[in-house]
Amino acid sequence: MATPKIPTVDLTPFFKEGYEDEKRKIIDSITKACCEYGFFQIVNHGVPLDLTSQALKVSKKFFESPNDAKLKCSPLPNAPVPAGYNKKPNPSYEFNEFLIMLPPGSDFNIFPENPPEFREVMEELFSQFLKIGMVVERILSECLGLPPCVLKEFNDDRSWDFLIAIFYLPATEKERIGANPHKDVSCFTIVLQDEVAGLEVEKDGEWILIAPQPGALVVNIGDALQVLMNDKFKSPRHRVVRPNGRSRNSFAFFHNLSGDKWIQPLPQYTKEIVEPPKYRPFLYKEYLQKRRESKSKNVTRLEDEITISHYAVPEE
């Protein structure tokens, strides 16, 4: 059987007036990709390619710097989100190093002194991800058969979005997992990966590679969108397998909701089509908090992690 291929779509028409037929075709392929995999890739997304390659370069330089330089970027003790440098304990059930960044201007952001251009590049990358995030948000609304501005109207607060620069060391004989199988809590996530393969999505019990493609960004659906759409699109389980003999570098941008939002399936997906809601209402930040707690306890069994099913309404 041929290996299933995650579709890549060219977003050029979405930066122009008109081109309605082309836009419709793209919306149809993204809808299909979201139903089948919860993942797709985009090219001609408007994020400058010299910026993405520079971001990967400076991030690699930072993670390859001495430990004490990295530890100087440890999160502030009172930070609501551990912005700054973090490292998963080794050995643990997954292994990677990462630096979390909140929106530019946040008092909690911590940047290394070296490489000196790190901050500027990260801030520019953040702004570019915010922009493409808004385009993807409109497209996904249409994929869900709703007006393009429906998600923006539901939540127009971008202050809960964040960006993570991630570094995976080469696999060892004992450990190959870089990020354990998980689902993202976001509305959707945009991933920039370097040329080293490792990101995989689970489909019908098999792991399918999201093959790196020059110039492409990866998009995947997250839990928040799954709840709002009452399971029309599912937040896919994915993982990162560490490569042999070399490290891997990526960025994940989480297009979130405001933590103060109560979320539950939208009426367009329940009342208006006479479908019972599959989730009870819950406060988004409570879910974020529970997820962070279970991660920081370094749970070693996957089934101990809190997931969206915590809020599922039991079936009759």
Residues of this chain that interact with ligand OGA (CB under 6 A) are 164, 166, 179, 184, 191, 193, 199, 238, 240, 250, 252
From the list 144, 138, 160, the residue with the least C-alpha distance to 227 is 144
User: Which of 9/240 has CB closer to ligand OGA?
Assistant: 240
Residue whose CB is nearest to Ni ion in the complex, by number = 184
CB 97 within 8 A of CB 87: yes
Conformational region of residue 204, where left means phi above 0, alpha means psi within -120 to 50, and beta covers everything else:
left
Q: Find the shortest distance in angstroms from Cβ 87 to ligand OGA.
A: 15
* Helix extents (H) in the chain: 20-36, 49-63, 67-71, 118-143, 150-154, 223-228, 284-296
User: Which of 26/252 has CB closer to Ni ion?
Assistant: 252
Return the one option of Ni ion, ligand OGA, none that residue 31 interacts with (CB less than 5 to 8 A, by type): none
From the list 51, 106, 87, 53, the residue with the least C-alpha distance to 166 is 87
User: Which of 193/230 has CB closer to ligand OGA?
Assistant: 193
From the list 131, 186, 136, the residue with the least C-alpha distance to 162 is 186
Is residue 97 at the binding interface for Ni ion, with CB under 5 A as the rule? no
Among 184, 194, 200, 223, binds Ni ion (CB under 5 A): 184
Is residue 200 at the binding interface for Ni ion, with CB under 5 A as the rule? no
User: Which of 26/199 has CB closer to ligand OGA?
Assistant: 199
Structure tokens belonging to residue 231:
């399971």
Q: Distance (Å, rounded) from C-alpha 139 to C-alpha 149?
A: 9
x-marked contacts with Ni ion along 34-53 as a string, rule CB under 5 A = --------------------
Q: Find the shortest distance in angstroms from Cβ 18 to Ni ion.
A: 35
Q: Which amino acid is at 251?
A: F
- Report the 3 state secondary structure along 247-290: CEEEEEEEECCCCCCEECCCHHHCHHHCCCCCECCEEHHHHHHH
User: Which of 150/216 has CB closer to Ni ion?
Assistant: 216
Q: Find the shortest distance in angstroms from Cβ 240 to ligand OGA.
A: 5
Is residue 94 at the binding interface for Ni ion, with CB under 5 A as the rule? no
Return the one option of ligand OGA, Ni ion, none that residue 193 interacts with (CB less than 5 to 8 A, by type): ligand OGA
Q: Find the shortest distance in angstroms from Cβ 80 to ligand OGA.
A: 19
Name the residues that contact Ni ion, by CB under 5 A: 184
